[in-house]
Amino acid sequence: MKKFINFIVSTIFVVTAYATDGIQPSVGSPYSVIPVPEKIEITKGTYSLPVNGATFYIKGVKDSRLSDYLKASALAQSVADKAQKADILIEISSKKTDKENCEAYKLNITPKRISIKANDEAGAFYAIQTILQMSEGGTKRELQCCSVNDAPRFSYRGLLFDVSRHFRSKEFIMKQIDAMALMKLNKLHLHMTNGAGWRIEIEKYPRLTEFAAWRPYRSWMDWASDTRYCESNYPTAYGGYYTKADIREILKYAEARHITVIPDIEMPGHSEEVLAAYPELSCSGEPYRNSDYCIGKEETFTFLENVLTEVIELFPSEYIHIGGDEAVKQGWKDCPHCKKRMQEEGLKDVDELQSYLIQRIEKFVNSKGRKIIGWDEILEGGLAPNATVMSWRGTEGGLAAAKAGHKAIMSPGTFCYLDQYQDAPHTLPEAIGGYLPLKKVYSYDPIPQEFSEEEAKFIHGVQGNIWAEYIPTPEHMEMMAYPRILAIAEVGWSNPEVKCYDNFRNRALTAVEYLKEKGYNPFDLANETGN
Ligand code: ACM
Ligand code: ZN
């Protein structure tokens, strides 16, 4: 009986929360939006988007980046001379409250006009994304009248692109930024340095991009069996990097779409490429021997601080990701420089030695007005005082960070590692392993059940990661991203009470078709085989 009552209750809930009845398929519906908005109320009638582009008027801010965005969008092209005449009226109150409130919006569509109210441009931008989704990028000109009241659950809704293992062009990154914006994702974590290649121009260290950005083999397995780097003009050189001008272009594009690009400069592990170009920064002093920086040598700190200075000058992000994961730590045990450092600083083991580096780097980054994020290994040996922890080895790291009063971003491998197979492996190109279908990503709740309300406040958000060892092409990377980042977006934005997988899957099927029309290469969700 209880089961039956549960069934009835949940059915009523789903029908009231997601009913699509009465809305013609040709009419743009708020029920199609990903992530699902907090509150949707359907009202009478439809609104027709003017064929030649709607006019808009923004009240409350001058020189709005939203204005440029709208002029170039499929929705609206020109500014109305008066608020009363605008097809889309946007009112920004500029009441600065917390981050979530900056991203909240109210959208009201009547047969006469569209009105948007938000505390900040970010909220108005997200209202526009809701309309863009309803209209399928401006192709459905008839929109269902409705009022939508929406706000994000988390302020950090991120996606990591690993551009070290396989370099991706700036055009590719900007194309993904467009899709991220549409899904209301707001953090792009750019993993630019790792053993497989250094990907950002640093003027003080030209060998990073002349040499450490190139390898003689494209295939991950070929390279893994003969791990070397090569000059950029070597006949089979494979790799690449972003110039500072490229980065500026990406940043401008992202900023217009309310996306912060978080640069990731990996340390002290996963640094084989740097140590091949500058072997004096390793314990052995020789290339191809160590993967960790020598923490005993002052040159290491000079190098890292010089690199970070150039990175901080370029990226406005409040957060700089400094890696911290999977250092081997073995070389430190026998290195006279590292042993001396441990003795002088009273560090009892190599975990504390790593912590010494992270804390010193944190001080440097803080002195420049920025904060660090590190993978959960930075908890070992003592957490740096102001660090945010990105929890990837399960949720324990996030829990430990929150208990210690630090912010945590949840990105556990079992739910958020989008480099795993999303369907039966025999139907897909080779992946690193695992099985992470859309449904499982969607089922994730970044606030672990064991968290108290107080601890939950330290959960800053969620991130999907696309590590790229086995993702050699841009098309393959898109297939790994879509539609699973749609699930990450809904996990990060929507409250668990309005989430429902079957309903999400239907919306994702529509989104997959839309993404295909826009030139993306999503996984063919409609023909999913299953485990
Ligand atoms: C990681 O996957 N090593 C953060
Ligand atoms: Zn050393």
The model's pLDDT over 66-82, given as tens digits with 9 standing for 90+, comes to 999 999 998 877 999 99
Give the pLDDT confidence score for residue 76 in this predicted structure: 77
Distance, in Å, from the CA atom of 18 to the CA atom of 144, rounded to the nearest integer, reads 14
Look at 2-16, 198-212, 321-335, 360-374 and tell me which has the smallest mean pLDDT: 2-16
500-506 long-range contacts, CB within 8 A, separation 24+: 500/14, 500/17, 500/18, 501/439, 501/442, 501/443, 502/14, 503/14, 503/17, 503/18, 503/36, 504/34, 504/36, 504/442, 505/438, 505/439
Kindly give the distance from the C-alpha atom of residue 491 to the centroid of ligand 1, in angstroms, as a whole number.
21
Look at ligand 1, atom 2, and give the residue with the nearest C-alpha. Answer: 392
Q: Specify whether the CB–CB gap between 30 and 40 falls below 8 A.
A: yes
At residue 96, the 3 state secondary structure works out as: coil
- Residue 1 above 80 pLDDT? no
- Banded pLDDT at 99 (limits 50, 70, 90): low
Q: Which residue has the higher pLDDT, 52 or 489?
A: 489
Ligand number nearest to the C-alpha of 467: 1
Instruction: Give the single-character DSSP code of 50.
Output: P
Residues lining ligand 1, Cβ inside 6 A: 325-326, 375, 392
Ligand number nearest to the C-alpha of 327: 1
Give the pLDDT confidence score for residue 8 in this predicted structure: 38
Distance, in Å, from the CA atom of 353 to the CA atom of 290, rounded to the nearest integer, reads 16
- Residue 13 above 70 pLDDT? no
Our mutation pick for probing the ligand 1 site, out of 392, 420, 432, counting the most ligand atoms within 8 A of Cβ, is 392
Percent of the chain with pLDDT over 70: 95
Q: What are phi and psi of 506, to 5 degrees?
A: -60, -40
Closest CA to 262 of 173, 354, 149, 377: 173
Torsion of CA 47, 52, 58, 59, to 10 degrees: -60
Tokens of 479: 């297939």
Torsion of CA 355, 357, 361, 363, to 10 degrees: 60
- Residue 164 above 90 pLDDT? yes
Give the tens place of pLDDT for each residue, 297-324: 999 999 999 999 999 999 999 999 999 9
Question: Mean pLDDT score of the chain, rounded to an integer?
Answer: 94
Q: Return the ligand 1 atom nearest residue 411 CA.
A: 4
Kindly give the distance from the C-alpha atom of residue 212 to the centroid of ligand 2, in angstroms, as a whole number.
21
Q: Specify whether the CB–CB gap between 199 and 169 falls below 8 A.
A: no
Instruction: State mean pLDDT over 473-493.
Output: 98
Percent of the chain with pLDDT over 90: 90
Distance, in Å, from the CA atom of 164 to the CA atom of 431, rounded to the nearest integer, reads 17
- Residue 9 above 50 pLDDT? no
Tokens of 468: 């790229």
Task: Show the DSSP H helices in 211-335 as ranges.
Answer: 220-224, 244-256, 272-277, 298-314, 330-334
Tokens of 340: 């001396």
- Banded pLDDT at 474 (limits 50, 70, 90): very high
Look at ligand 1, atom 3, and give the residue with the nearest C-alpha. Answer: 325
Q: Return the ligand 1 atom nearest residue 326 CA.
A: 3
Q: Which residue has the higher pLDDT, 53 or 442?
A: 442
198 C-beta neighbours (distance < 10 Å), count: 30
Closest CA to 207 of 305, 276, 266: 276
Kindly give the distance from the C-alpha atom of residue 318 to the centroid of ligand 1, in angstroms, as a whole number.
22
Kindly give the distance from the C-alpha atom of residue 337 to the centroid of ligand 2, in angstroms, as a whole number.
5
- Which residue type occupies 525? L
Tokens of 37: 């908005």
- Banded pLDDT at 49 (limits 50, 70, 90): very high
Instruction: State mean pLDDT over 250-261.
Output: 98
Q: Which residue has the higher pLDDT, 15 or 389?
A: 389
Distance, in Å, from the CA atom of 127 to the CA atom of 109, rounded to the nearest integer, reads 11
Distance, in Å, from the CA atom of 205 to the CA atom of 413, rounded to the nearest integer, reads 34
- Banded pLDDT at 138 (limits 50, 70, 90): confident
- Residue 206 above 80 pLDDT? yes
Kindly give the distance from the C-alpha atom of residue 341 to the centroid of ligand 2, in angstroms, as a whole number.
9
The distance from CA 351 to its chain's CA centroid, rounded to whole angstroms, is 29
Give the pLDDT confidence score for residue 21 in this predicted structure: 57
Give the pLDDT confidence score for residue 442 in this predicted structure: 98
pTM over 0.75: yes
